[in-house]
Chain A
Amino acid sequence: MNITSYLIRGLATGGQFALVAIGYTMVYGILKLINFAHGELFMVSGILMIYIVADLPTLPIGLAICLMAALTVFIGFLIEKFAYSPLRSAPRMSVMISAIGVSYLLQNLVSYITGGLSKQFPDIPVIGESVRFLGIKDKLTVFLSPVIAIVLTVILVQIINHTKFGMAMRAVSKDFETSQLMGIKINRVISITFAIGAFLAATGSVLYFAKNTGINHLSGANPGLKAFIAAVVGGIGSIPGAVVGALIIGVAESLAKAFGLADFSDVISFGLLIIILVVKPTGIFGEKTTEKV
């Protein structure tokens, strides 16, 4: 394999991580919470897809994906309602512990349902098919992932910057109480933020598991961790930052493989994280905190 193919596979993984990383960064932006359950939600959406396709074999795959995305969004919404919303005025540490709890709950639940065995992700037509592009033969999902990630990001950023709801989101992320005084229902804004994050994670999971087809209850841990690192590298709270961070992490890990350092891919991600934190603690797109008080 030549370097281009590693580069493209790196961008693919990066694009898939990016869709997960946006969920981390958006929730952090609004609640200042690292939602540790997000990686598990990503895994759960993969598992849901398996069960939906197995139990409803007559359902067209497109509808199955929509159903899976809807269920993932619903679970994301439930997690917020039951694990985070009651802790709105609790110290941040308590919410984080709750997030870790949800993460283990989801893992254990899936392990109970699947018996801890690896399940095979269904064949997804079109994106699961092999194509040849730029002289490289791989599943279409590999070529498509970074494109889909970037398109969805552009749409999301437009919504946040140019719609009334986006404006409310930005206001809530700065000041809960004053947002309430404007008449914004902050709980609704937070719920929708979780829903968007869950939807993107569901999209990412289809793209990711179409290529890496074996899923068990631990399959969310690594992508979740990498997406989290990506969000921090890019500057947590920044959506373009999360995408850029994810693409960098994806490409760096893939290039590590190209140079025969596959065993060191984690070292490379964490090394990048450390370098960024030392050089620019707020991350690549980190917010400048120079507001007048």
Chain B
Amino acid sequence: MSDNILEIKTLNVRFGGILAVNDISLDVRRGKIVTLIGANGAGKSTILRSVSGIVKPVHGEILFEGENIMGLTPEQIVKKGITLVPEGRRVFPNLTVLENLKMGAYLRKDDYEKDLSYVYRLFPRLEERSWQSAGTLSGGEQQMLAVGRALMSSPKLIMMDEPSLGLAPLVVRDIFSIIRTINENGITVLLIEQNANMALKTCDYGYVIETGNITMQGEGDKLLNDDRVKEAYLGKSRNG
């Protein structure tokens, strides 16, 4: 089997004539954390949504474990072992925490108790609040729930769209340490972040995307120390 769990080849996505993603190719190595950084509207979310089958690309190839998954329905893609933690968390506010987690395991026919206790170990707070409706959780707790829910599908690849968006700095640190833990437990991570600093520190490999094109790529440390990246995405506040 190839080293790449996910390969995207010359992906093109249009929204009503506007090119959102232009001939993008990228690879995600199995067992790694890969991040896409770039400004708002650069097309990062669109790439993840294409992989999930929510958005239909114009052309290109999306290979998951060597098999083209483009054109499959979202539910077929979840079955293959890809899950997306959507931007803005999108927990089901009217369902309890436990029900939200069960929704993550919706397609599974096997026993998911082990994964449930794994998620509760990662996020003890969710177990404490399992009977509370998800709409009453804080932003950080909702993000944990969104990640926990994604893990319940027992994925091989977890994609996260802006997991730190709108969260307090301390909570952001927690989320990133969870991302590392998940990855150490063998799940490949494809991460989109506006917090380029944290993302590049956490990732093994990064891509910089500008208006639908990949303009730079490299290992996290290398991008972190690249002058152009520093200037455009890390700002002057970067001290360590």
- Check B106–A182 contact: CB distance below 8 A: yes
How many residues on the A side are at the interface (Cβ–Cβ under 8 A)?
20
Contact flags (1/0) for A180-214 with B, using CB distance below 8 Å? 11111100000000000000000000000000000
Name 18 extra pairs, CB < 8 A, besides A174-B95, A175-B90: A164-B102, A168-B103, A168-B106, A171-B103, A173-B94, A175-B92, A178-B92, A180-B53, A181-B52, A181-B84, A182-B104, A182-B107, A182-B153, A183-B106, A185-B73, A291-B93, A292-B136, A292-B139
Q: Would A164 and B93 count as touching, CB distance under 8 A?
A: no
A139 interface hit (Cβ, 8 Å): no
The reply to whether A170 and B75 contact each other, CB–CB distance below 8 Å, is no
Q: Please tell me if the beta carbons of B74 and A170 are within 8 angstroms of each other in the complex.
A: no
Contact with A along B36-57 (1 / 0, CB 8 A): 0000000000000000111000
Per the CB 8 Å criterion, the residue count for chain B at the interface is 30
B60 on the interface (CB 8 Å rule)? Answer: no
Q: A171 contacts B92, CB within 8 Å?
A: yes
In the assembly, what is the distance between CA of A159 and CA of B84, in Å? 28
A167 adjacent to B90 (CB under 8 Å): no
Q: State which of B73, B84, B99, B135 has its C-beta within 8 Å of the C-beta of A292.
A: B135
Interface centre among A171, A181, A183, A292 (most CB of B within 10 A): A181
Digitize B67-108: 1 where CB-to-A-CB distance is under 8 Å, 0 elsewhere: 000000111001100011010001011110001001110110
Given known A-B contacts A170-B95, A171-B92, A174-B92, A180 and B137 have beta carbons under 8 A apart: no
Contacts of A184 in B (CB 8 A): 75, 103, 106
**Neighbour of A167 across the interface among B54, B99, B139, CB < 8 A:** B99
9 closest A-B pairs by beta carbon, nearest first, are A183-B107, A183-B78, A291-B135, A183-B75, A291-B93, A180-B74, A178-B90, A182-B106, A182-B103
Q: A129 on the interface (CB 8 Å rule)? A: no
Residues from chain B with Cβ under 8 Å of A177 in the complex: 54, 86, 90
Contact of A170 with B135 in the complex, beta carbons under 8 Å: no
CA A164 to CA B104, docked complex, whole Å: 12
Q: Is B164 an interface residue (CB 8 A)?
A: no
Are A182 and B93 in contact (CB-based, < 8 A)?
no
Given contacts A164-B106, A167-B99, A167-B102, contact A181 B92 (CB under 8 A): no
Instruction: Tell me how far the C-beta of B81 lies from the nearest C-beta in chain A, rounded to whole angstroms.
Output: 12
Q: Which residues of A contact B90 (CB under 8 A)?
A: 175, 177-178
Q: Mark each residue of chain B from 112 to 146: 1 if its CB lies under 8 Å from any CB of chain A, else 0.
A: 00000000000000000000000111110010000
A-B residue pairs in contact (CB < 8 Å), sample of 25:
A164-B106, A167-B102, A167-B103, A168-B103, A170-B94, A171-B95, A174-B92, A174-B94, A177-B90, A178-B86, A180-B54, A181-B74, A181-B78, A182-B103, A182-B107, A182-B153, A183-B75, A183-B153, A184-B106, A185-B75, A291-B135, A292-B93, A292-B136, A292-B137, A292-B142
How far is the CB of B15 from the nearest CB of chain A, in Å?
13
Closest CB in chain B relative to A187 CB, distance in Å: 10
Contacts of A182 in B (CB 8 A): 78, 103-104, 106-107, 149, 153
Q: Chain A residues near B94 (CB, 8 Å)?
A: 170, 173-174
Q: Which residue in B86, B95, B137, B138 is a CB contact (below 8 Å) of A181?
A: B86
What residue of chain B has the Cβ atom nearest to residue A180's Cβ? B74
Also in contact, A183 and B92, with CB within 8 A (given A171-B103, A292-B139):
no
Q: Which residues of A contact B53 (CB under 8 A)?
A: 180
